[in-house]
């Protein structure tokens, strides 16, 4: 199962699974999820699309009910759905930030709870949490987004250790900026990050899929420069990273 698979990284991850023979249950909030299912089926596997809003408790629960009603053990679960939000915190709408938290944090915990309680008794399963390189630095002008991804990263690493020995593994994928609709959807199209060249989503998805299959705790998604940046972030003071990110993420007028 993959959440948020109508387009972007979720759909690319779905293609990776499909190429490797997995049938897939996929969710999205728009009707595009049905087109995504057609794309997935073209790889010769079955696809089960479900349309629901991941910002709402009932939407998250309805996808899990849909998956459970397929009456098949879930071999792998990718908790991918996530949204961004750019702009100055003093100006952005609280409602949008709370929606981001609902999708990126509450929805991830909610889905993980259902998946873990399904997989542990089965004694097997693989869980991927799609975090971000944003988890490795302060993210001014995306002041709620970055911390929501830091939550996902440390949630995945925590859960992984707790589930050691159960047969259930957890992997975090931390992509660098990637060529999806993400930045436009986040209202960041005019920022330096939003308008500069990005990582290939197919590469990022392949790296994530391979890390999941090889039981790696986390992987940076992207090219060498992205991986190097993540390494440097470990040694760079938070204040310095914050100042650098502010320049890149600030909306240009």
Ligand X SMILES: NC(=O)c1ccc[n+]([C@@H]2O[C@H](COP(=O)([O-])OP(=O)(O)OC[C@H]3O[C@@H](n4cnc5c(N)ncnc54)[C@H](OP(=O)(O)O)[C@@H]3O)[C@@H](O)[C@H]2O)c1
Query: Which residues are near ligand X by CB under 6 A?
Result: 4-10, 27-30, 32-33, 53-55, 80-83, 103, 130, 132, 149, 175, 177-178, 180-182, 185
Q: How far is the CB of 115 from ligand X (least distance, A)?
A: 16
State phi, psi for 47 to the nearest 5 degrees: -130, 135
Q: Which of 22, 57, 141, 145 is catalytic?
A: 145
- Burial (CB count within 10 angstroms: exposed 0-12, middle 13-18, buried 19+), residue 88: exposed
Structure tokens at 75: 């071999």
CB of 122 or CB of 228, closer to ligand X: 228
CB of 55 or CB of 169, closer to ligand X: 55
CB of 124 or CB of 179, closer to ligand X: 179
Radius of gyration over alpha carbons of the chain, in Å?
17
CB of 182 or CB of 209, closer to ligand X: 182
In sequence order, which residues have a C-beta less than 8 Å from that of residue 143 and are 6 or more positions away?
A: 89
Q: How far is the CB of 4 from ligand X (least distance, A)?
A: 3
* DSSP code for 252: P
- 22 assigned to active site: no
- Burial (CB count within 10 angstroms: exposed 0-12, middle 13-18, buried 19+), residue 59: buried
Q: How far is the CB of 52 from ligand X (least distance, A)?
A: 6
End-to-end CA gap in the chain = 40
Q: How far is the CB of 36 from ligand X (least distance, A)?
A: 7
- Residue positions annotated with a catalytic role: 145
């Amino acid at each position: 199962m993959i959440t948020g698979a109508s387009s972007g990284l979720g759909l690319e991850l779905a293609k990776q699974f499909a190429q490797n023979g997995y049938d897939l249950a996929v969710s999205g909030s728009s009707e595009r999820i049905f087109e995504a299912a057609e794309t997935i089926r073209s790889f010769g596997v079955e696809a089960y699309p479900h349309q629901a809003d991941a910002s709402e408790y009932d939407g998250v629960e309805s996808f899990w009910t849909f998956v459970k009603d397929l009456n098949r053990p879930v071999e792998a679960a990718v908790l991918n759905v996530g949204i961004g939000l750019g702009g100055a915190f003093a100006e952005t709408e609280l409602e949008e930030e709370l929606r981001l938290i609902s999708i990126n944090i509450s929805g991830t915990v909610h889905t993980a709870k259902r998946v873990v309680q399904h997989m542990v008794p089965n004694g097997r399963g693989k869980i991927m949490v799609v975090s971000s390189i944003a988890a490795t630095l302060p993210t001014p002008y995306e002041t709620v987004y970055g911390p929501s991804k830091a939550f996902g990263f440390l949630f995945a690493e925590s859960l992984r250790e707790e589930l050691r020995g159960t047969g259930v593994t957890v992997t975090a994928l931390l992509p660098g900026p990637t060529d999806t609709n993400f930045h436009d959807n986040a209202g960041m199209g005019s920022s330096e990050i939003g308008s500069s060249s990005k990582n290939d989503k197919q590469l990022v998805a392949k790296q994530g899929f391979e890390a999941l299959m090889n039981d790696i705790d986390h992987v940076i998604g992207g090219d060498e420069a992205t991986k190097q940046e993540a390494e440097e972030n470990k040694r760079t003071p938070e204040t310095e990273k914050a100042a650098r990110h502010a320049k890149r993420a600030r909306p240009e007028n």
